[in-house]
Structure 1
């Protein structure tokens, strides 16, 4: 640990050699955690569900937090260091110099940022279009705020179906309603990384039908070898759109709240209408942690991505051996795998995903928990197209991943 005496606040953090972050903690050490992932189920259950990684904090992040605690730096947040760090990260990693600090606002987390942005460009009763199956809280947060979710399902290839999107936008416009489009980029739960062509087509459709786009880009740093992340606001036609970004998923900082809302050049006036009290949600320690991750955590991130790439390949081999009937498309990004386990059966409730919570279990997820003692996210909460599926979090050690899939392979179909 670096104390306040050892390092002043402005000093650079030391360079370190980084091992695979996914292989540093044993199962016994992980079970000491008190977070949702490790407290929702009994100890004999292997938790591969909620989007939390089995890693230590990156050393630069831990050092920055220790330093703040040592000097009592636990007051109110101020300044643009987080936005500046994200802008430099975006320019260096994605070739995007468009994350202008003057077009950003600090928000508590990505989903609260999404809600606040939708409030700026829609009214109660307006439509919010999503590509189902999609991140379950989209349904709950949007519907609880009085907007109506309208699905434009993904195609069979788990990519954006542009024809479906155009039909949906057109139908809403014919009804005389306003609409926003809530984009998951990269897509959760499928791990699809949208191409520049796809995002440019989205922007063109949004202009054609007068739809405002809000892009959830929380998984942006987690694009694996073979794909490239494209910020939505970097494509032509996106000027009146928004993005919400955070370091939380890539550096496992969900408990240290901080995110950025970013406006396109012609959406700044809308962003400036965001209530001032929204910026009081992030914690000062959260901003310190996220800024340190972006500025000094890139070597750790590189090691993580290598580990995730190895786990992605291992998962494919394990599924082929133990669950050969499972449908699986290798994810291009995130650390989430979307598995079609419909052949196993299991009852799925006929309920709207907006009324479900992420911990609800049905169908194959219930079977895997009850019979294999492996906790996965149940596909039905992700909307249309999710029934019969599970979402598996492979951001863990290879030993835990192997044990989990071997257990899952012993589950027999119910019909």
Structure 2
């Protein structure tokens, strides 16, 4: 396999996705590169095939050289996110007073849900959606109610209102777990769509918790709109992190950001929650937000090229696959139903094509017959993966 994918190409300084060869990537020990045998191309889990951004690497080297591996302290992460949000999104909604450090986005979501709901209450999600939304919510003792996306992969206000009405029946508390930008479709919600969400949530007394971990991964001309910046969203929460955009999943840290009206709820978050994040994670995320903007822009350029490439490859080699290019994230949602591969095409393709995609059924209703592909790799690997799938079909 490696013979089909160039390993010795020279590094392209402006494209992080052309920096590392397949041979170098296979030396990694993270789950992406250890979950499957070496003859499988892994395009499933949310890890990027890039080197660390230089400012992040330098921050980590400094900390290790000093033995600075204790507990996190200070407000640097929040201040870095606030500056990034002002620069990138023209938004001043991140303040030290309304922000808490949490171990990662999903654990932060669980802690926020504990503030807003009780055991047995309902959390609404837009399916198909990020699989941990189901697992973490249910493990915290809450029920899941699905409000499916519409045929275009966008929020369906009628379905959302039906779910809100059912979730709050009898006066029960309820929350809505918003994925923005949306995983797996890559949909970037508009200001108008989010304003509709806020109005519906207010009408039915539902508290909104927005997972905005992919927010930095929205290139122009699309525009990321922070949910807390939408009129009427002042009692909501956002979970943000540099994890996805700078490939820092192994360096745990995230921030829970409360809207102005949610500050009293945030004050009830137990202080021990802030003991979970990694100090090295906080240092890395802070450096990324403060100094990693140029690197991020090169990532966005590379992802835009890969989105175009995937569209071309599918049209040429897999015309039966239905696919709407996303506006954000580094993920794409593929509909394989025309090929008759059953509920879980990813399982079939791992066996037949030796390409690992993320199984569609794990994303809830609407996931059968689908699979998610990770575009954050080299054009050569992406091309080889599509060619293998086409050959297997």
Name the residue aligned to 2:9: none
Question: Are 2:320 and 2:339, in contact at CA under 8 Å, matched by a contact in 1?
Answer: no
Greater alpha carbon shift after TM alignment, 160-169 vs 87-96: 160-169
Name the residue aligned to 1:155: 150
CA distance in 1, matches of 2:142, 2:339: 35
Task: Mark the runs of 5 or more structure 2 residues left unpaired by the alignment.
Answer: 1-11
Aligned residue for 2:281, secondary structure, equals: helix
Q: Does residue 362 of structure 2 align to residue 367 of structure 1?
A: no
Greater alpha carbon shift after TM alignment, 164-173 vs 370-379: 164-173
1:14-163 equivalent positions in 2, closer than 5 A? 19-163=14-158
Q: CA deviation at 1:345?
A: 2.3
CA distance in 1, matches of 2:391, 2:365: 28
Residue 325 (structure 1) aligned to one of 320, 324, 334: 320
Name the residue aligned to 2:383: 402
CA distance in 2, matches of 1:379, 1:175: 34
* Structure 2 length-normalised TM: 0.96
Question: Are 1:200 and 1:237, in contact at CA under 8 Å, matched by a contact in 2?
Answer: yes
Task: Mark the runs of 5 or more structure 1 residues left unpaired by the alignment.
Answer: 1-16, 349-362
Q: CA deviation at 1:158?
A: 0.2
Name the residue aligned to 2:8: none
Name the residue aligned to 2:275: 280
Q: Does residue 320 of structure 2 align to residue 339 of structure 1?
A: no
CA distance in 1, matches of 2:220, 2:349: 30
* Number of aligned residue pairs: 382
CA distance in 2, matches of 1:97, 1:193: 20
Aligned residue for 2:367, secondary structure, equals: coil
CA distance in 1, matches of 2:184, 2:170: 30
CA distance in 2, matches of 1:143, 1:74: 34
Q: CA deviation at 1:238?
A: 0.5
* Structure 1 length-normalised TM: 0.91
Residue 193 (structure 1) aligned to one of 188, 195, 199: 188
Q: CA deviation at 1:347?
A: 3.8
Question: Are 1:346 and 1:366, in contact at CA under 8 Å, matched by a contact in 2?
Answer: no
CA distance in 2, matches of 1:376, 1:162: 30
Q: CA deviation at 1:411?
A: 2.5
CA distance in 1, matches of 2:170, 2:300: 45
Q: CA deviation at 1:172?
A: 2.3
CA distance in 2, matches of 1:393, 1:241: 30
Alpha-carbon RMSD: 1.0
Name the residue aligned to 1:250: 245
Aligned residue for 1:410, secondary structure, equals: helix
CA distance in 2, matches of 1:224, 1:150: 31
Question: Are 2:131 and 2:364, in contact at CA under 8 Å, matched by a contact in 1?
Answer: yes
Question: Are 2:145 and 2:167, in contact at CA under 8 Å, matched by a contact in 1?
Answer: no
Q: Does residue 358 of structure 2 align to residue 377 of structure 1?
A: yes
Name the residue aligned to 1:178: 173
Deviation string, structure 1 residues 306-352 (Cα, Å, up to 9, x no partner): 0000000000000001100100000100000000001222343xxxx
Question: Are 1:372 and 1:410, in contact at CA under 8 Å, matched by a contact in 2?
Answer: yes
CA distance in 1, matches of 2:83, 2:13: 22
1:195-234 equivalent positions in 2, closer than 5 A? 195-234=190-229
Question: Are 2:241 and 2:254, in contact at CA under 8 Å, matched by a contact in 1?
Answer: yes
